[in-house]
Amino acid sequence: MEAVAEKPLTIPGFPRPLKNHEMIVNMGPQHPSTHGVLRLELIVDGEVIVDMIPHIGYLHRCFEKHAEYMSNYQQVIPYCDRMDYIAAMSNDLGYAIACETMLGIKVPERVEYIRVIMAELQRIASHLLAIGTFGMDIGAFTPFLYCFRDRERILDLFEQTCGARLLYNYIWIGGLSHDVPPDFAGKVADFCTSFKPTIKELNSLLTHNKIFVERTAHVGVLQADVAVNYGASGPVLRGSGVEWDLRRNDPYSIYDRFEFDIPVGRGEVGTVGDCWDRYIVRVREMEQSLRILEQAIGQIPEGNVQSAIPKRIRPDSADLYVRTETPKGELGYYIVADGTTSPSRVKVRPPTFVNLSILPAMSRGAMIADVIAILGSIDIVLGEVDR
Amino acid sequence: MIPQEILDTLIKQFPGVTFELKKAGSGDPSILVPPDRILDVSRFLRDDDRMAFDSLMCLSGVDYTGGRMGVVYHLDSMTKRHKVTLKVEVSDDQPECQSVESVWKTANWHEREAFDLFGIRFAGHPDLRRILLPDDWVGHPLRKDYELPEYYRGMKVPY
Amino acid sequence: MKELLVDLLGNELLVYVLMAFVPLLWILPFALFAVWWERKIAAHMQDRLGPMRTGGWHGWAQTIADILKLIQKEDIIPTAADRLLFSLAPFVVFIGAYTAFAAIPFSAAYVGTEINIGLFYIIAVSSFVVIGLLMAGWSSNNKWSLFGAMRSAAQVVSYEIPIALTLLAVVMIVGSFDLQEINRAQSGSILNWFIFQKFPLLFAAALIYFVASLAEVNRTPFDIPEAESELVAGYHTEYGGMKFALFFLAEYANMFAVSIIAATVFLGGWNSPFGEALSGPLWGVFWVLSKSMGFVFVQMWLRWTLPRLRVDQLMYVGWKVLIPFSFVIILGVGFWVLLEG
């Protein structure tokens, strides 16, 4: 055996030298449950987490640099797709709204309705993936595939509309790339009616499963004031009992026309703000999205979806911050225009980047298996965290 | 509360500090704050009952070119339902600014990102390391004067 | 049967070797079949088809192809690993699982060795497996493997207690550790099966045994040592090729071993459920195998339905739920037997 090192080990980001009984474990960047290339440097005492240092940036693709190098504003949209690739429509929508606000464009009613339908379908698709992978992190494999089966039907709808299944480039500044196919509203309605029973199925398979509740209740509790101070948003914030949804509290597009509830965590099986609450918020949000969809598909007006698309975009010098509620939380675009045809700076405030920064605070004192549960309940997408 | 009222309150609260309200085109109005007072101002904006800016939506570094760089704070009050934008301007050869990490924890990673990509140093930040780029990266890529490196660790970068 | 073979071949050693091979002839096809079966069950529970191509009919040859692939793979030993322990571990695990079959009666006429402490022997040798798992986890020189090994050692050791206690309840009734004796005690009507006797004590014992056996063989919801979403693959993270296949084989052999013990001790073993009808040595093989396959199916079913417990919850279930209840059962059965005289 080699002699034990005399000098205690120090780690960047960890305030004190390591004690003798503590051990560093690298979770990731290749690990089945880090949802991509996230590396968590765990400092553990047996199975208990003493501290955790997240390392991100393995998927950094210089979105912000690319956006500055584009020759016009429209070319940024495909890059937006690639940030949160699980909810590309929502990313496009945020960027399009930001540019439209800057240019003062009023988009046609038909476009607004189609955008809302797409965004809500995307929300359901994203939450299905989040729930499925969360279940898999806890060890339940079957709900994962059930969720993928239903997500697939939403992707089929997207494919019929714009030909792409994952990265759509569908929502353009001032309009849409295509109109929807003729029987689209009917298909969405079919999806809504057939999807409701599958939520019940999911609830009976996973939500109220005793083991699942044991693993998620009282785990990773995030108090409301801590969540706000850390800037959490989306289901992570609502899971802590804060009724805050930008669709309601800072309405954009035409969300003020629809009736829907904002589900919040109430600590039904554990403490308010635990993993189960974050999970159930997503399940209930899918039901609310169905409600919005049902209201929206009946009201789509006729019109040309490309009539408001500007030929050339050259805003005056200005800077503004526009935020939208994506499935994962508050997605903000801070765009600085310098009077040329391409943006001088596009800063993205990715919801999961901010939500992920709470992970160390939530994990201290938990066990290794809990870290997986907490990480799954935050629902990160590394494409967006790293950009 | 509209930004003008917030500015008036700030001027009353911090005598001797110059604040400036700016608005360009269709953009958001913003209040310019000196870099060495941003921490006090932030703490006041969070703790004052009239302001109650409980969340920092976004913190961005910006390179305005011409030797100026900036940090932009977008604040939001969830209870009072108002927003404000604060701006700090620093020079690009010695970019240094106070950290607001102790006020809003959101700033922790955002300031690390601004440090990583712009080289702005945030005094008082507990753990100012690079966050997105590798630890041994040279330069701060989002600066406008950044030159794309031809080599990374001796490997030619294909363009 | 042994005497028959000795008469036939005239060499006792040859007979022992021959008899030792018979379970292997069952375990190997069983593992291949069970893996395919598990995939198909998983697939159908998850609204998909599973392997459909290899071999034609419903992908029956898929696992054979997989095994051929595993055999051809390069045998990699990590540089930092303890080479001797690393290479030895899969064999220790497999031997532990395989030697248990020596005392398992497949029919009234066939049992590897009819020793009078059969059940005791099986419990003893199957705890051999944990040494192999510890060796694998330690020698891999990988923190995830070490976690997996430590978890599995804690788990297997804890759960052996309720297993032994529940089996002891049956032993107290029969008055023998001999598995053939236990089988014979259940012959006749289906109501003589121990699961229906001393109701509800032995029924509860069967339940506890089944739950604890899931933990013993690292199946969901107790698959914590190899929890792929936490520990990558637990103690066999660093293994590949044939060594990995041996772990895999041992896992399925173990699954089958605990199932056949459950079938023998609680469900009448090779006894026919219809009394004297359809009984006999060959029918016995059929009955005991189908009963244990039933248990194997339930194990698979649970795996594709339930999430996984956390390691402290697992210890809680073992020490604070199963063990106290097993003691109650032991006491209850003891008094019952005492009062019956």
Give residues with Cβ within 8 angstroms of C102, minimum separation 6.
C20, C23, C112, C113, C121
Looking at the predicted structure, is the pLDDT value of residue C27 above 60? yes
Check residue A1 and give its pLDDT: 44
| Residue from the list A315, A317, A349 with its beta carbon closest to the beta carbon of B57 | A349
Q: What is the mean pLDDT of residues A333-354?
A: 89
CB contact under 8 A, A228 and B78: yes
Q: Does A332 touch chain B (CB under 8 A)?
A: yes
Q: Which chain B residues in 117-146 lie under 8 Å from chain A, judged by CB atoms?
A: 117, 127, 129-134, 141-142
Lowest mean per-residue pLDDT among C117-121, C195-199, C300-304: C195-199
CB contact under 8 A, A367 and C229: no
DSSP letters spanning A355-367: HHTTHHHHHTT-B
CB pairs < 8 Å spanning A and C:
78
The pTM (predicted TM-score) of the whole model is 0.88
- Pair of tokens at residue C319: 């020490």
pLDDT tier, C3 (very low <50, low <70, confident <90, very high otherwise): low
Q: What is the mean pLDDT of residues B104-112?
A: 90
Check residue A8 and give its pLDDT: 64
For chain B, which chains pass the contact test of at least 3 CB pairs under 8 Å?
A
Q: Is residue A99 part of a domain?
A: yes
Q: Cα separation of C104 and B78, whole Å?
A: 69
CA C34 from centroid of its chain's CA atoms = 13
Give residues with Cβ within 8 angstroms of C338, minimum separation 6.
none
CA A41 from centroid of its chain's CA atoms = 23
State which residue of chain A sits closest to C306, comparing Cα positions: A140
Contact C162, C102 (CB under 8 A): no
For chain C, which chains pass the contact test of at least 3 CB pairs under 8 Å?
A
User: What distance in Å separates residue A143's CA from the closest CA in chain C?
Assistant: 8
Looking at the predicted structure, is the pLDDT value of residue A61 above 70? yes
Q: What is the mean pLDDT of residues C220-225?
A: 75
Task: Give the domain range for residue A243.
Answer: 63-386
Chain A residues closer than 8 Å to C147 by CB: 25, 47, 368
Q: Cα separation of B15 and C198, whole Å?
A: 88
Chain A residues closer than 8 Å to C313 by CB: 214-215
Q: B43-59, pLDDT tens digit by residue?
A: 888 888 888 888 888 89
CB contact under 8 A, A212 and C223: no
State which residue of chain C sits closest to A204, comparing Cα positions: C305
CA neighbours within 13 Å on the CB side: how many for A228? 17
Chain B residues closer than 8 Å to A323 by CB: 57
Q: Please count the structural domains in chain A.
A: 1
| Residue from the list C144, C307, C310 with its beta carbon closest to the beta carbon of A140 | C307
Interface-testing mutation among C308, C309, C314, C320, with chain A (most A C-beta atoms within 10 A): C308
User: What distance in Å separates residue B56's CA from the closest CA in chain A?
Assistant: 6
Q: Cα separation of C281 and C183, whole Å?
A: 13
Q: B2-13, pLDDT tens digit by residue?
A: 778 888 888 888
Q: What is the mean pLDDT of residues A2-20?
A: 69
Chain B residues closer than 8 Å to A56 by CB: 131-132
As beta bridge partners, residue B77 has: B82
CATH number at residue A141: 1.10.645.10
Nearest to A235 by CA among A39, A53, A376: A376
Q: Do chains C and B touch (3 or more CB pairs under 8 A)?
A: no
- In chain C, the percentage of residues whose pLDDT exceeds 90 is 3
The strand pair at B82-91 and B30-32 is best described as parallel
Q: Is residue A338 part of a domain?
A: yes
Say which DSSP state C319 is in: I
Taking the CA atoms of C309, C311, C316 and C321 in sequence, report the sign of the dihedral they define: positive
Q: Does A262 touch chain C (CB under 8 A)?
A: no
Q: A232-290, pLDDT tens digit by residue?
A: 988 999 999 888 888 888 888 888 888 889 998 888 888 888 899 999 999 999 999 99
Which of A317-331, C15-29, C224-238 is the most confident on average?
A: A317-331
What amino acid is encoded at C42 in this protein?
A: A
The strand pair at B20-22 and A345-349 is best described as unpaired
Contact A209, C306 (CB under 8 A): yes
Q: C74-97, pLDDT tens digit by residue?
A: 888 888 888 888 888 888 888 888
Q: What is the mean pLDDT of residues C278-305?
A: 85
Q: Does A319 touch chain B (CB under 8 A)?
A: yes
Give the relative orientation of helices C143-174 and C323-340 as an angle to the nearest 10 degrees: 10
C5 or A173, greater pLDDT: A173
- In chain A, the percentage of residues whose pLDDT exceeds 70 is 98
* CATH class entry, domain B3-156: alpha beta
Hey, which bits of C205-291 come out as E strands? none
Q: What is the mean pLDDT of residues C254-279?
A: 83
Contact C252, C31 (CB under 8 A): yes
Nearest to C42 by CA among A34, A276, A145, A122: A145
Q: Is residue A28 part of a domain?
A: no
What amino acid is encoded at A332 in this protein?
A: G
Q: Cα separation of A235 and A263, whole Å?
A: 9
Q: Is residue A35 part of a domain?
A: no
Give residues with Cβ within 8 angstroms of C5, minimum separation 6.
C15, C18, C19
Q: Which chain B residues in 67-106 lie under 8 Å from chain A, judged by CB atoms?
A: 72, 74, 78, 81, 85, 104-106
Check residue A126 and give its pLDDT: 92
Average pLDDT, chain A: 87
Q: Cα separation of A331 and A354, whole Å?
A: 10
Phi/psi of residue A26, each to 5°? -90, 115
The Cα diameter of chain A in Å comes to 78
pLDDT tier, A122 (very low <50, low <70, confident <90, very high otherwise): very high
Burial readout A324-338 (b: 16 or more C-beta within 10 A, e: otherwise): bbbbbbbbbbbbbbe
pLDDT tier, C116 (very low <50, low <70, confident <90, very high otherwise): confident
Q: Is residue A11 part of a domain?
A: no
Give residues with Cβ within 8 angstroms of C6, minimum separation 6.
C12, C15
State which residue of chain B sits closest to A347, comparing Cα positions: B60
> What is the complex's ipTM, to 2 decimals?
0.89
The strand pair at B82-91 and B68-77 is best described as antiparallel
Q: Is residue A111 part of a domain?
A: yes
Torsion angle, alpha carbons of C161, C167, C170, C171, to 10: -90
Chain C residues closer than 8 Å to A23 by CB: 143
CA neighbours within 13 Å on the CB side: how many for C28? 6
CB contact under 8 A, A215 and C144: no
H/E element, B152? strand B151-152
List the domain boundaries for chain C: 2-340
Interface-testing mutation among A354, A355, A356, A378, with chain B (most B C-beta atoms within 10 A): A354
A113 or C248, greater pLDDT: A113
List the domain boundaries for chain B: 3-156
